[in-house]
């Protein structure tokens, strides 16, 4: 398992936090995802054998948020 901290732009409320957490939780290979508004970031623990960091970032972008 690997853990990554990902800065996320465009989140303005707890609804945004819930949306990002839901998207990350739906990815095969993600075992946990903690998303915070301040600072705007996600801490994701994932199985690198099933999922790569670029795919995680793409999922966040596809949900309408900016990945730094």
- Say which CATH number the domain at 59 has: 3.30.70.100
Dig out the tokens for 45 from the structure: 């623990």
Please give the DSSP secondary-structure letter assigned to residue 8.
Answer: E
pLDDT at residue 56, rounded to an integer: 97
Terminal Cα-to-Cα distance of the chain (whole angstroms): 22
Rounded Cα–Cα distance for residues 53 and 50 (Å): 10
pLDDT at residue 66, rounded to an integer: 96
Query: CA 10 → CA 1, 7, 37, 46, 63, distances in Å?
Result: 28, 10, 10, 23, 11
pLDDT string in tens for the chain (68-residue length): 999 999 999 999 999 999 999 999 999 999 999 999 999 999 999 999 999 999 999 999 999 999 97
Number of domains into which the chain is organized:
1
Provide the domain limits for residue 61: 2-67
């Amino acid at each position: 398992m690997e853990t990554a901290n990902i800065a996320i732009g465009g989140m303005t409320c707890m609804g945004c936090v819930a949306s990002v957490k839901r998207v990350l939780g739906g990815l095969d290979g993600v075992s946990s995802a903690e998303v915070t508004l301040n600072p705007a970031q996600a801490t994701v623990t994932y199985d690198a054998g099933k999922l790569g960091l670029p795919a995680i970032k793409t999922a966040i972008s596809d949900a309408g948020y900016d990945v730094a």
